[in-house]
Amino acid sequence: MMIVSADVQQMRSTPVELLPLKIRRYFYALDTDDFREIRLRAGGAVCVCSGSGKRYISKYGKLTESVKGAVTVSPNDIEEAVDILTLSSLYSAQDEIKNGFITARGGHRVGLCGRMTSGGDFVTDITGLNYRFAREVIGAADMAAEAVFNNGNIKSTLIVSSPGCGKTTFLRDLIRQISDKGVNVSVVDERGEIGAVHNGMPAFDLGANTDIFDMCGKTEGMKLMIRSMSPQVVAVDEIGDEEDISAIRAAARSGVSVFATIHASDWRKDIGKELTACFKCVISLSDRHGPGTVEELVYV
């Protein structure tokens, strides 16, 4: 765990740079700006998901709708990919791997599947990897920032959407905009995706007045940040369990607002009143016009 100041940005890697060499070379001539995911399945074709839908990589380095003639992933490719992601130290990433993902340099999350050990504490014989692109979109929260800031009366805000609709990207830009208004924001970055800290520096711009607690559990991190950094806002990604709710309530009792995200397709149906009551504003996102489309912003 470390606290870093979000005042310097590093050069960001892309998931393409984290692919095994045999597969990586097929991407060199492609425009990856619209890519959302790259999926590698042992014995299967290299698959790319973008705003245009699902495509495969041909042996000529082009995107195709047909799996026939596509580049095939070997078990050795998966093994090389894991070595790259873990810097050849699989067990150093054990805490992440047992939760089904690795957060790579640049904030990109790589989901994985394979065989769970009998104790349920590690994944071995990895057979599939899903590289999810982390992106900075300056202005993503433009439609919501003033409503959340509300003339300095900062609303605790819950950002809701189905997976892949840009919650973290939206949260990242909301943090930046509120921080640049002079508000002290503390980010508890449990998976290293919000700030993508590497060698003590964040990859993404989180504003002039933001502090980051990197790779720290949400509940513990929120308590520590409130105790040590005197934030006006604490920001976390992907809440859901009872401990998270308790930590958010504790923040409210301390006079601290909370920005958080959660997976749900319909917040009125899928999120309990106990959790909703912790917030003053709910923002619902979709990918109807691309990830981060604001469908609804309501005060609750």
Domain CATH for 34? 3.30.450
Q: Are residues 192 and 285 in the same domain?
A: yes
Of residues 258 and 190, the one with the higher pLDDT is: 258
Which of residues 132, 165, 192 is at a domain's end?
A: 132
Residue 170 lies inside a defined structural domain of this protein: yes
| Axis-axis angle for helices 218-228, 242-253 (nearest 10) | 10
Q: Are residues 97 and 53 in the same domain?
A: yes
Q: Are residues 61 and 147 in the same domain?
A: no
Residue 232 lies inside a defined structural domain of this protein: yes
For the chain, what is the HEC assignment? Answer: CEEEECCCCCCCCCHHHHCCHHHHHHHCCCCCCCEEEEEEECCCECEEEECCEEEEEECCCCEECCCCCECECCHHHHHHHHHHHHCCCHHHHHHHHCCCEEECCCCCEEEEEEEECCCCCCEEEEEEEEEECCCCCCCCCHHHHHHHHHHHCCCCEEEEECCCCCHHHHHHHHHHHHHCCCCCEEEEECCCCCCCCECCECCCCCCCCEEEEECCCHHHHHHHHHHHCCCCEEEECCCCCHHHHHHHHHHHHCCCEEEEEEECCCHHHHCCHHHHCCCCEEEEEECECECCEEEEEEEC
Residues found in the chain: 300
Residue 9 lies inside a defined structural domain of this protein: no
Task: Tell the burial category of 10 from Cβ atoms under 10 Å away from its Cβ (0-12, 13-18, 19+).
Answer: middle
Give me the torsion for CA of 161, 166, 167, 168, rounded to 10°: 160
How do residues 222-275 score in pLDDT, each as one tens digit? 999 999 999 999 999 999 888 999 999 999 999 999 999 999 999 999 998 899
Q: Reply yes or no on whether the pLDDT at 81 is more than 80.
A: yes
Q: Are residues 163 and 231 in the same domain?
A: yes
- What domain range is 99 assigned to? 15-132
Q: Are residues 144 and 110 in the same domain?
A: no
Q: Are residues 148 and 56 in the same domain?
A: no
Which of residues 97, 132, 167 is at a domain's end?
A: 132
Distance CA 176, CA 9 (A): 13
CATH number at residue 214: 3.40.50.300
Residue 5 lies inside a defined structural domain of this protein: no
Residue 3 lies inside a defined structural domain of this protein: no
- Mapping DSSP to helix (H, G, I), strand (E, B) and coil, where does residue 225 land? helix
Residue 8 lies inside a defined structural domain of this protein: no
Q: Are residues 191 and 157 in the same domain?
A: yes
Work out how many domains the chain is built from and give that number: 2
Q: Are residues 128 and 141 in the same domain?
A: no
Report the pLDDT averaged over residues 120-149.
92
- Mapping DSSP to helix (H, G, I), strand (E, B) and coil, where does residue 124 land? strand
pLDDT band at 8 (very low <50, low <70, confident <90, very high): very low
Which of residues 132, 165, 194 is at a domain's end?
A: 132
Residue 200 lies inside a defined structural domain of this protein: yes
Q: Do 184 and 209 meet the contact criterion of CB atoms below 8 Å apart? A: yes
Residue 233 lies inside a defined structural domain of this protein: yes
Q: Are residues 99 and 70 in the same domain?
A: yes
Q: Are residues 46 and 151 in the same domain?
A: no
Q: Reply yes or no on whether the pLDDT at 2 is more than 60.
A: no
Q: Reply yes or no on whether the pLDDT at 134 is more than 50.
A: yes
- Round the average pLDDT of the chain to a whole number and report it: 91
Q: Are residues 105 and 23 in the same domain?
A: yes
Q: Are residues 144 and 286 in the same domain?
A: yes
Residue 164's pLDDT is what? 86
Q: Reply yes or no on whether the pLDDT at 10 is more than 60.
A: no
- To which residue do tokens 């999926």 refer? 39
